[in-house]
């Protein structure tokens, strides 16, 4: 099949025009800084949209997550001594199948991530595995949970488990802005939450993120830390470590121009998901699942191949091999076929417990603990939910600007893999 002349991306920025107006406003008024009307507006809109009291506009969602960990650590353990981390030496329960930015900030602050396995029905952190983890480590006081690909699942249940055990919840809603669970917006479940405006997210500022919270005191602290932690004095007075994490007013202009288009982006992503579901419905695959409590933002369409339709696939640390078989396929084969069409798919986030750097970290499944398992995966030999979804699942090209005709060709190429 002839490849597309212009690459079809997994998810790329979709601009509308208003972004330019607000960026230009920043320029024309000379608020080319980390102060200005666009930032104030982004904070107002982000808080209103998520249904929380306060939003703090920052340079990235990763920065927001870092300040979330610092706020939680200080609340739980007090202000750390200079040069020490806010959760130093403490175990923190973390999502396992996610982007590493979810938990990197736990490490910035000296914490020890303990990975919680994934629920096969929702692809998000498994509340039952989290319960198991609290049974094993009742002293743990912090949970960091991400919503996968804009398809929330179990986040209210996870919040309740945290409350029962006196733990705080950080919600990484980077991928889930605009999605709801039981009618509540993602980003409103955590004691502290974070959203992202990274270039490939549902709306974008090219970069940027917000910390969301209902506590004015915490919002003020985050704002202070993000601007080098300067005390109220006539000179530069410092009592604690600071960061340069504030959002630029130019970037905020882009985000301000994008917000009116959030619902339209979600509708477009839903149409993409529905078209894949329809076009692939008689193949031995299932689309990324969600239940009736969840209204996704459909950021990335993902699928999983039925176990008995997997051809042999082996993944090492950096390479993958497969042996094609009639009527069967695997993510490696399908990703190659999609790439051959000049379109971009992606493997599922490789679970953290399978990452070389976390080889010695604990990983807790519904049945109890396990150490990180082998990285090689052979069909039919999955040892845990995350490894299994990683082996059999994949993200499909989900770009807003992909045409139905292009998507039909991608569907055709996927179908051919199972012939
Ligand atoms: C994109 C993403 C982040 C990081 O967002 P940035 O704004 O790029 O820092 C964090 N967590 C998850 C789950 C993400 O997908």
Tens digits of per-residue pLDDT, 88-125? 999 999 999 999 999 999 999 999 999 999 999 999 99
pLDDT of residue 379: 43
Residue 201 reports pLDDT greater than 90: yes
Could you tell me the distance, in angstroms and rounded to a whole number, from the CA of residue 62 to the centre of ligand 1? 6
CA distance 143 to 398: 30
pLDDT of residue 368: 66
Choose among 286, 319, 279: nearest CA to 415: 279
pLDDT of residue 365: 87
pLDDT of residue 377: 41
CB of 174 within 6 A of ligand 1: the answer is yes
Could you tell me the distance, in angstroms and rounded to a whole number, from the CA of residue 126 to the centre of ligand 1? 20
Atom of ligand 1 nearest to the CA of 101: 10
| pLDDT tens-digit series, residues 213-270 | 999 999 999 999 999 999 999 999 999 999 999 999 999 999 999 999 999 999 999 9
Question: What is the average pLDDT across 54-78?
Answer: 98
Q: 34 and 250 in contact (C-beta within 8 Å)?
A: no
Atom of ligand 1 nearest to the CA of 208: 7
Choose among 158, 216, 165: nearest CA to 190: 158
13, 190, 251, 262 from 16: Cα distances, Å: 10, 31, 15, 11
Could you tell me the distance, in angstroms and rounded to a whole number, from the CA of residue 89 to the centre of ligand 1? 25
Active site residue 132: no
pLDDT of residue 336: 98
Candidates 49, 132, 201, 221; catalytic one: 201
CB of 60 within 6 A of ligand 1: the answer is yes
**Core vs surface per residue 393-411: b (16+ CB within 10 A) or e:** bbbbbbbbebeeebbebbb
Round the average pLDDT of the chain to a whole number and report it.
95
Q: 205 and 197 in contact (C-beta within 8 Å)?
A: yes
- Domains, the chain, ranges and CATH? 18-261 (3.40.640.10), 262-350+377-416 (3.90.1150.10)
Query: Helix (H, G, I), strand (E, B), or coil: what is residue 129?
Result: helix
Residue length of the chain: 419
Q: 333 and 311 in contact (C-beta within 8 Å)?
A: yes
């Amino acid at each position: 099949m002839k490849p597309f002349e212009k690459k079809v991306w997994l998810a790329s920025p979709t601009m509308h025009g208003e972004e330019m107006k607000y960026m230009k406003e920043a320029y024309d008024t000379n608020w080319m800084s980390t102060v200005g009307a666009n930032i104030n507006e982004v904070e107002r809109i982000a808080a209103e949209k998520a249904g929380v009291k306060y939003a703090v506009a920052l340079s990235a969602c990763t920065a927001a997550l870092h300040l979330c960990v610092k706020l939680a650590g200080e609340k739980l353990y007090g202000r750390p001594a200079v040069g020490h981390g806010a959760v130093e030496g403490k175990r923190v329960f973390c999502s396992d199948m996610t982007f590493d930015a979810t938990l990197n900030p736990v490490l910035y602050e000296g914490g020890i991530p303990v990975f919680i396995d994934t629920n096969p029905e929702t692809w998000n952190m498994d509340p039952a595995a989290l319960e198991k983890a609290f049974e094993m480590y009742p002293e743990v006081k912090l949970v960091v949970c991400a919503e996968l690909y804009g398809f929330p699942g179990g986040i209210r249940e996870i919040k309740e488990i945290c409350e029962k055990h006196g733990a705080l919840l950080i919600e990484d809603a980077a991928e889930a802005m605009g999605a709801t669970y039981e009618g509540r917006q993602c980003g409103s479940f955590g004691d502290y939450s974070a959203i992202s405006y990274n270039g490939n997210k549902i709306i974008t500022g090219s970069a940027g993120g917000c910390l969301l919270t209902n506590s004015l005191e915490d919002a003020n602290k985050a704002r202070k830390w993000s601007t080098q932690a300067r005390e109220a004095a006539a000179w530069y007075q410092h009592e604690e470590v600071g960061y340069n994490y504030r959002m630029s007013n130019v970037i905020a202009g882009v985000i301000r121009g994008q917000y009116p288009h959030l619902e339209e982006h979600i509708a477009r992503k839903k149409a993409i998901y529905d078209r894949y579901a329809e076009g692939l419905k008689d193949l031995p695959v299932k689309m990324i699942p969600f239940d009736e409590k969840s209204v996704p933002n459909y950021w990335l369409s993902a699928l999983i191949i039925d176990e008995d339709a997997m051809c042999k696939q082996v993944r090492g640390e950096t390479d993958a091999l497969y042996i094609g078989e009639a009527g069967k396929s695997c993510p490696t084969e399908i990703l190659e076929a999609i790439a051959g069409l000049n379109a971009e798919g992606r493997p599922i986030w490789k679970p953290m417990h399978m990452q070389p750097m976390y080889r010695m970290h604990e990983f807790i499944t519904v049945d109890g603990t396990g150490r990180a398992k082998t990285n090689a995966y052979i069909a039919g030999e999955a040892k845990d939910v995350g490894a299994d979804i990683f082996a059999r699942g994949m993200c499909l090209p989900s770009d807003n600007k992909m045409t139905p005709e292009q998507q039909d060709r991608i569907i055709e190429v996927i179908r051919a893999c199972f012939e």
